[in-house]
Chain A
């Protein structure tokens, strides 16, 4: 399914709970990214990682955390500190962090706070 898998497809969370979104790729890509998609706001970068054991905050990192312990995995945790977590979350990867390597996106996880 395109080499990058996100799970689950739909996720419901109660207020005050942390949840973790999975992103796995078998493309041997070095760089991975998490974006949040809201209607009318495009895609906004949450976190990105150029290599294993290294990651950087994006534009809207508050209330989120990530880890990059393995090259193929880049899980995103939405913490209770995220004030408006209901959104569509997209994971992406690129061959490297260099200019010109297009992104491959996962199919996304839709998170709803109930």
Chain B
């Protein structure tokens, strides 16, 4: 099955700095790459996603990049704010279906 590795497991940044989280995957047929944010005690929420026909996608301070050749994709958060503190999960689909496999999560702490 699909194997998704996510790094780092924890990340601390100063407010205003950028944060980058990286994921690698194994299934070359994967073509959908969502990112979820889970604040403490809350449910995961989709924050951005990208399909394999696009190399980069931005939404305000959040961007995702995809390198299909190398089978890795990254989440970039610029001008971090304390409310960005959460656990972030990358994911990718298995085969041609919507069923996704999640990474192990990155706990991001933004220090004021």
Q: How far is the CA of A56 from the CA of B99 in the complex (A)?
A: 10
Q: Which of B72-107 contact A (CB under 8 A)?
A: 89, 93, 96-105
Interchain CB contact (< 8 A) of B51 among A100, A102, A103: A100
Is A85 part of the binding interface, using a Cβ–Cβ cutoff of 8 Å? no
B31: interface (CB < 8 Å): yes
A92-105 interface bits toward B, Cβ cutoff 8 Å, 1 = contact, 0 = none: 00101111111101
Stretch from B13-21, B37-45, B63-71 that touches the partner: B37-45
Does B6 lie at the interface of the complex (its beta carbon under 8 Å from any beta carbon of A)?
Answer: yes
Residues of B within 8 A of A43 (CB): 44, 89, 102
Question: Does B97 lie within 8 Å of A42, measured CB to CB?
Answer: no
B111 interfacial contact with A, CB 8 Å: no
B102 cross-chain contacts in A, Cβ below 8 A = 35, 42-44
Nearest-Cβ distance from residue B94 to partner chain A, whole angstroms: 9
For the complex, give the distance between the alpha carbons of A2 and B43 in Å.
10
Chain B residue nearest to A58 in the complex (CB): B99
Cβ A107 vs Cβ B49 within 8 A: no
- A50-77 interface (Cβ within 8 A of B): 56, 58-59
Nearest-neighbor residue (CB-CB) of A94 within chain B: B98
Nearest first, the 5 A-B pairs at minimum CB distance are A102-B46, A105-B43, A42-B104, A43-B102, A42-B102
